[in-house]
Each structure stands twice: as structure tokens, then as C-alpha cells.
Amino acid sequence: MEKTCSYIAFGDSYTIGEGVPIYDSFPYQTVQILRKSGHSFYGPEIVAKTGWTTDELLTGIEQITLEKHYHFATLLIGVNDQYRGRSVDDYTLKFKQVLRKAWQVAPKMIVLSIPDWGATPFAADRDRKKITEEIDGFNNVNREIATRYGAYYIDITPSTRNPNDTLLAADKLHPSGKEYYKWAQEVATIINKLL
């Protein structure tokens, strides 16, 4: 009999699926894809909150009781660090801390890049070029650290740079279930290979 696998998702509004029903979030869609592939999975456990920065996620992890072991984990964090004007150096330090902490409970880690919110209608009155450059800087950090530490890495950012109404939630900032499904497919592809 096949074991039932566990999956924990660490992050912020992109992980909880702000603006869409919870079953449209990428962690829930990932589990649905894996179940349709014939794998047994518990529902995803989500440690995330809208607005969280890396240090707030770290505090969140430390304040809750987690299982001792999960089979798989995803980490998507950093957009609020960029939004609040934090430096790349600060993000580098905090991202390493979060990744290490998450790795203590889940040895198979998948890091997702930060979406470019500067391409959304929400950012119409902002300096889009500056946002894009800063997001790229943060993503260079999380890619380099994830690769160095041996995590899997998924670059979802290009997909978020050409949003249309079908790929955005009603708030015109967060992704729609259709966009989250693209991310879920990529996460599920990696997990399928590891099973």
C-alpha cells in the first residue's frame, strides 16, 4: 500500500492564494494534480499570511507547532521585503534563515521565484521599471541560495510579467486560479519525479 505523503507550503499572499478560493491556491492545486496522478497526499499545510516578509514568516514558523517531518515543501517569499523597501543584503540574510528553518521539517524543498507585481494594473501609478529591477535582484538571491543549498527552483516570474484579466484575481494584483495552476503544474512535475 502506497504511503500518504505530506506537503507544507511556506510563504505570503501568493501561497495562501489571496483573492481566490483556497482550492485555487497553488498548494491545493498541486495536491489535486498529484492525486489525479494516482499519488496519495494529505491536504497541504500552509504557513503563510498576506503581507508577510521573510522575518515575519520566520517568526510565524517559530510560533506554531509543526509536524516533525513533511515529505515536501515549497517556499515563496520576498515580495513584501521588496515592497517595503528592504535591501537585497537584508533579504539575503533572512532568506537563508527561513530556508534553513523550513528545511528542518522538510528535506525536499522547492523554491519559487517572486512574481513581478509591477506588471499588474495595481502598479499603474508606480515606477514599474524600478519594481522589476528590484524583483530581479531579489530573485537572483533566492535562486543562488536555493541552488547552492540543493533545493529545486522554479522561475515563475516570466509568466507574471504578461498578465491579462484571466490570469489576475479581482484585486488586479494577485494571480487568478488559472495562473496558480501553472505554478502547481511545475511543482507537481518536480514532486512526481521525486516519488
CATH class of 7-194: alpha beta
pLDDT (tens digit, 9 = 90+) per residue, 91-113?
999 999 999 999 999 989 999 99
Q: Is the pTM of this model over 0.85?
A: yes
Residue recorded with cell 521525486: 194
pLDDT (tens digit, 9 = 90+) per residue, 113-147?
999 999 999 988 999 999 999 999 999 999 999 99
By residue count, the chain amounts to 195
Distance separating alpha carbons of residues 160 and 128, to the nearest angstrom: 13
- Structure-model confidence comparison of residues 162 and 115, the more confident one: 115
Decide: 154 and 143 in contact? Cβ < 8 Å: no
Can you give the residue ranges of every domain in the chain?
7-194
